[in-house]
A and B are shown apart, each in its own frame.
Chain A
Amino acid sequence: MPLSVPQQLLRTMKLTTLFLVALYLHLGATGFGQKVTISGKNLPLEKVFTMIKKQTGYVFFYDYNIFQETKPVTLNLKEADIEDAMRVCLWGQDLDFNITNKTISVVKKERRINLISADPEKTIKASGTIFNESGQPLSAATVTVKETKRGTLTNVKGQFEISAVPVNAVLTITCIGYASRQVKVNSEELIVVYLPIAVNELDKAVVQAYGTTSQRLATGNIAKVTASEIERQPVMNPLIALQGKVAGLDVNQTSGFASAPIKVELRGRKSIGIDPSHTFPSDPLYIIDGVPLTVLEVGGSSSYDDGSTGFIQNQNGFNGPASGQSPFFSINPADIESIEVLKDADATSIYGSRGANGVILITTKKGKIGKTKFSLHTQQGVSKVSRFVNLLNTQQYIEMRREAFENNGINPNAKNAYDLLSWDTLRYTNWQKMLYGKTGKTVDLQGDISGGDAHTTFRVGVDYNKTQNIQTVSGSDQRASISVNLTNHSTNQKFTISFSSAFSFAQSNMVYQPGNITLAPNAPGIYDSVGKLNFAGWGGSNNNINGRKTFPFGTLEQQYIAKTNFLNSSLSFSYQPIKGLNLTASFGYNNAQANQQNYIPISSQDPIFNPTGKLNLGFNSNKNWIIEPQLTYERWLSKGKLSILLGNTLQYNSTDGLYVNGDGYTNDALIKTITNAPVQYNTDSYGQYKYAGVFSRLNYNWSNKYIINLSARRDGSSKFGVDRQFGNFASIGAAWILSEETWFKSLSFITFAKLRGSYGSTGSDAVGDYQYLTRWSSSGTIPYNGISQLVPIQHANPNFQWQSNKQIEAAVDLDFFKDIVHLSVAYYRNRIGNQLISFPIPAYTGFSSVTANSPALVQNEGWEFTTRFKIIESKNFKWALNFNTAFNNNKLVDYPNFSLSPFVGQLIIGKPLNIRRLLHYTGVDSQSGEYAFYDKDHDGQITYDYTGTKPDDSYIYNLNPKFFGGLGTDFNYKSLSISLYFAFKKQIGRNSVYQGDIPGKLKNQPVDVLARWQKPGDISSIARFTTAAATSDNNYKTISDGSYTDASYIRLSNVSLSYTLPPYYLNKIGLQGLSLFIHVNNIFVLTKYKGVDPETQNFGGLPPTKTVVGGIAMSF
């Protein structure tokens, strides 16, 4: 029997109200408690909205047409919650609302279209549309019927339709990155559901290879670092912000300059190459918005220990004071939305031959739907050295030197003791303060505009950042950047185009800082009385050439400037011709141009040598382009969602460097241009890299309970000789979400439990280019007998192949008390075989290494723990804790014919790669005052060599960290928030006392040496002072366990304090947001380590600095 129209309407309203209440209940839990006070009669709705906006700072989002049919309202609200206020306003109106992130969207209620069957036994057809809160339709959202397990996916317009749904069945709607919803269906009317963006960690979107997933659904190991964590760190290089944040990821800055290369290593050392110069950098594959940031190593000075020299790739070692330049110095950390670190085979094997060292995905910020928003962010700060070593003062130093001469029975003379005889013995300079005592300043200005509607979103960000360093002659690092992101969906939502591009200009002004803090404290000044470099003062009274102490400060007037332009762009088109099928074509391009200049004027060199000026120029360029057509198909199959990805990659890279040297300038005024150089010398380097692959992934998610993920890739790389270029890689990952099982539901305190595991292979082609070719070059030579030279430059090896990495991982993810406690534990075992290294071979063959596969099998096995704990979660006060730590156990598992290998003296099968064979230090001989070592083989002498055949040096020390990680805690009280971040590491390292020279020589020493041995019978840990140390002291001291010590530490690495102005005040000043903040880096270190810093363990180098910045961020 047909119902009359008014009745239909009435029913609709009832149902919608029911539905809304369900929605409201949820919103109540997450919404903000802003108070609204409005009273008045027959107020137009539009006016009420304006009042609410003024009072709360909330923004309204609606189509003006909605007001056509609204009734004025009469209100009497006092301090009402915003949700309540909205509910009252819209009571009886044909409108619906929704609050997210201070945005209230108001839309029309959907009209009922179909009639409802009166018979509850009959099944009905459920249909509807799924939107996100911005009103954008969500495609590929899953709609399942709880009772029948049947399901479907939404189309591009967010629409779905399921037939044969029992009346009163519950529909579960899920979509990656959004909170899930359950809706009861008892009519065939159109269902409209708005999914809010997930706020619980489990369901937040996580970027994965060629797509997105969530922690709930991921089968692989993906760690995410968000924009808010990056923003807190006052650093110019976003990679540094990853320090301590991701379990198992070791990030180290290789020098104190902001532009310095960063060494990144995931899950332990993979390469057997023991000599750092024989091992290639351990960098993971970096991908920015889909574009790999590949830099070839054509400059020839990258190494395992110091990482890649990055954008500086000219030959001749002209790498600047920072020994290279990190590519990420050109990237504005504030442009980054998230950084995902892909760790296991499941997550990385789709990158095939490039994934063995892990993959780091960088995703930039995109515009969001809503009113156009302007944000400004400015911060300023200072940095200073946090810790100095306590060194001898002049009086103590002179005492040490005189005692040393006395001990050796040597008379000090002008030749061996100019510090005592020629230099002023009363003068005192604290060289540490002199060299590193300056206060560095940093300035950072950020601005962005973003916004958009359902079709187009945009974001434009600009940035200027300048960091001055703390050295004697202060240089600075600067960067200015602009980034643009645009996304457009066609009206029918089938066609999407997105474009992102960032351009930056970076400039580093530096000097090669003479890093020697152990200069004699009475050494003459850097400058003479007229402010010129003090060459004469350092020469001593007789001022002769060869006896002259080298003046260490000439470099202070040798300016180094590096200017870098960097462009990274990506463009992708995607089209959905039929439901579930997506065709995407991505194009990416990046280009870096780094130009270096280094002036060595005559004035910076000792005039007695009649020097001439020099000019060094470096031109480096790096280009990448990539094309990746992809096809994805998603559909509902049986009781689950099937996703298929097919695609291929074509990548091209070229890296080149040109080094130009001008020499023989006789006038400093001419030095700025190469044209004036009487002698010129050039070398260039060039490398090309091509990479092509086909990849596929198949993912099946059965009722959000069982998930299986298969990926495979075949790819080829130009780094290998013909016939060795192609390789196949594959992985399998699976997850079982136990908490979805009915038997599990009794454990109600565990809200989520997942077991996952993966196994697969990845490869590494991280070697130099053209290693398979015989090569002859004229580079760096001049003609002999009038004939130009051709010099062989490498051993060729046409036979080397991929390094293969077989990874297995098992993990459990648990969530207790609804997002209050989260715990992930992962166990992994990576076995790296067919090691691709620069294989050490005897130098008598012509070269001391050849690129080859080593038969070594290296294993990294470990545990990673990541946990989050929301200790207090109340309206005004929140306290959360997060913690991660990783234990990695590295060992050489196998090496066929090990006794004939070049590693036999340095490595031991079954032990870690990073071991040292050391003598055992037994203290200072109380009779002679010399260092003494244990004579293990009792042959009356201490013997050692590096071949491992001598028994005295057989004490094995493992220098790998036992564990490391980070602990962060965040407090929020109303508008105030404080966060602290601690980083810790348990390890053995080299101590400072035994690292420098032997006390007594012409070098300053830590004050600890005053406790030295002085006469027979003295018991001391410090040897006698001596100027002519016994060779045994020189040699044995550094290779004994006496020079190793506990270098574990806990560092409060970051404290960040911010205050956000409440909306009430914001309204008064007409702003949407305003916050004030202070960030402090490297506050203190708890350690037993004696020396400047247990992390760098570098005696005499640039100590770590403490940085304090304060700033203001506003948006309107």
Chain B
Amino acid sequence: MIHLYRCLLHLYPAAYRHEFAGEMALVFLESERVVRRECLATRIVFCARELSGLLSGALREQTRTLVGFYDCVPFGRFDMRPEFRFPRSTVFLMSVILAAVVVAIAKATSIELKYGATLETVWPSLPWFLALMLGLVCLTVVIGWGILFAMRRTGMHRLANLQNGHEQR
């Protein structure tokens, strides 16, 4: 486990690794030694927590190294809070989506069998269609991110003003 952890530490920028990797591995070892005595479920939760923490931490630090700061990426908004629980409807909605995907695949297979010969004419336009879809998705993501960023900026500005007022007093 520690070998995997040490390998994953290479996802962090070199400077960060140089400063904290030894310490992080030591703390991980101590935590793992305690968790080793627990049941399988606890160990799985521990591994999942460590893995997600390590990956999100590496992403943050890499972003900070590339951009100079990571306030431009509203990670905090998407951090999973310990008290967060998925609503019960999520299981139902995900089941519906899965069923829809299975039905769509079955339908597509039957269409292919029925009109297989005529589909040849559709293939040349498919790459363009996929490229267009990709472009639209990227545009939507950029707009969504812009809105989130703007909302966060507004909040931060207000809080910063509040804080400055506090300090001046």
A binds B: no
A contacts, CB < 8 Å to B = none
B contacts, CB < 8 Å to A = none
